[in-house]
Amino acid sequence: MNKMLSNKKAITLFILPELIIFLFVVVSSIVMSFHYSLYSWDGISEKIFVGLGNYKSLFIGNTDGFLKAVINPLILAAMSLVIQLVLALVLAIILARGIKGEAFFRTAFFIPVLFSSVVMGQLWSMIYNPNYGLLNAILSKLGILQTKIAWLGNMDTALICVFIAMIWKYVGYYMLLLYSSIKRIPADVFEAAEIDGATRLQVATKVIIPLSLPTIKTTVVMIVIGALKAFDTIYVLTNGGPDHATEVTSTLMYTTIFKKNLYGYGSSMAIFIVVECLIFTILLNKWKPTQYTY
């Protein structure tokens, strides 16, 4: 292994394919988007150079609800952190410490991740449907609800309903990440804790969580970034509506580019998302959890 890592040719060979794809697919798109963001362009006619004019329209005297489209993903990030992280961690700890049917539950919780977002969107729009949806049916059977609620058609409930669908989908994914990290903790650590008389709760809080901090940190970064660039589920469920109630930065960008034909202005939103994600990644990386070794 060491011999291979010192072999520059081998390193180049292994990294090159990924590097090429990364440069061409990711970096070049960002550079192109930045280039377009400096122009006023309808995608068809000649481009007109406007410098930072598009960015100015984003931040100064904005009229297309950009601020709301930036705040909504932040709400999603906060909600995801609280709900997804806690839920994923609890599930991972319970599963990893061995319960009956561990493999079954591990798979069951992971299944939503495997669904395509479109399938999942359809599923949830059935659940939320005011006329024949599961949610209204259950609530009215329980006698909680007298009138039908249009969960996705109502300005007050649409945002939270879309977010719940999105959060539900990825709990299983983060659970699996944390689960595998907990599984790596050697059994003797747990044995030692038990001999010292630690309760299950103490094992979880004093042993498992501290030892899984690096993975938890990765999970936090992924949850936050995932929320900031969320698109597909919202697009399928509400397309940012009703009246922009569920608008996020990326759906607004989509509308701006493909419906309003404002390629330049929309590209400046794309660059905003890139920069925003970078800033959050850097900030979160400032958090250096103590590395415990076992």
Partner 1 sequence: MKKRVVALCTIAALAMGSMSVTALADDAEKITISMWHTWPEGNGGTAAAFAKTMEQVQEKFPEVEFVMDAVADSGDSYKTKLKTAAAGNELPDIFYTWGGGFSETWVDAGKVLCLDDYTSDETKDKFISGSDAFFTYDEKLYGYPLRTNVGVLYCNKAMFDEAGIEIPTTFDELLDAVKAFNEQGTVPFALGGKNPADIAWWTDQLTQRTAGADYVNQILNGEATYDTEADLQAAELFKELVDAGAFDAGAASTSRDEAYTLFASGLYPMYFCGSWYCANVMDSEVKDDVIVVNFPAVDGAAGAATEFLGGADQTFMINSEVENPEKVVEVYAYMCETLSENVFLGGAGLPAWKTDVDVSQIENTLLVSVYDLYKDCSGINLWWDNALLAEQATEHLDTASKLFLGNITPEEYVSMNTEIMQ
Question: Tell me, what amino acid is at 49?
Answer: F
Distance CA 203, CA 98 (A): 14
Asked if 54 is part of the footprint of partner 1 (rule: CB under 8 A), the reply reads no
3-class DSSP assignment, residue 244:
coil
The piece of 180-188, 236-244, 266-274, 282-290 that touches partner 1 (CB under 8 A) is: 236-244
Count of residues of this chain found to bind partner 1 when the rule CB under 8 A is applied = 32
Residue 130 Cβ vs partner 1, minimum distance, rounded to whole Å: 4
**Residues 6 or more apart in contact with residue 55 via CB below 8 angstroms:** 37, 268
Angle value at C-alpha 228, between 259 and 246, nearest 5 degrees: 55
Residue tagged 């994923």 (tokens): 88
Residue 231 Cβ vs partner 1, minimum distance, rounded to whole Å: 14
Asked if 53 is part of the footprint of partner 1 (rule: CB under 8 A), the reply reads no
Question: Tell me, what amino acid is at 207?
Answer: V
Cα of first residue to Cα of last residue in the chain, in angstroms, is: 23
Asked if 159 is part of the footprint of partner 1 (rule: CB under 8 A), the reply reads no
Q: Say how far residue 142 (Cα) sits from the centre of its chain.
A: 33
The piece of 8-16, 50-58, 121-129, 190-198 that touches partner 1 (CB under 8 A) is: 121-129
Asked if 72 is part of the footprint of partner 1 (rule: CB under 8 A), the reply reads no
Q: Which of 14, 104, 115, 258 binds partner 1 (CB under 8 A)?
A: 258
Backbone Cα Rg of the chain: 23
Residue 249 Cβ vs partner 1, minimum distance, rounded to whole Å: 17
Asked if 151 is part of the footprint of partner 1 (rule: CB under 8 A), the reply reads yes
Q: Which of 130, 137, 140, 274 binds partner 1 (CB under 8 A)?
A: 130
Asked if 150 is part of the footprint of partner 1 (rule: CB under 8 A), the reply reads yes
Residues 159 and 245 sit within 8 Å (Cβ to Cβ)? yes
- Residues 148-180 as b/e (b if ≥16 CB within 10 A, e otherwise) read ebebbeeeeebbebbbbbbbbbbbbbbbbbbbe
Distance CA 39, CA 101 (A): 58
Q: Of 11 and 126, which has the nearer Cβ to partner 1?
A: 126
Residue 49 Cβ vs partner 1, minimum distance, rounded to whole Å: 17
Asked if 234 is part of the footprint of partner 1 (rule: CB under 8 A), the reply reads no
Asked if 40 is part of the footprint of partner 1 (rule: CB under 8 A), the reply reads no
Asked if 260 is part of the footprint of partner 1 (rule: CB under 8 A), the reply reads yes
Asked if 263 is part of the footprint of partner 1 (rule: CB under 8 A), the reply reads yes
Q: Of 235 and 280, which has the nearer Cβ to partner 1?
A: 235
Q: Is the dihedral of CA 132, 135, 141, 143 positive or negative?
A: negative
Asked if 6 is part of the footprint of partner 1 (rule: CB under 8 A), the reply reads no
- Positions that interact with partner 1 (CB under 8 A): 42-46, 125, 128-131, 148-155, 158, 238-239, 241-244, 255, 258-263
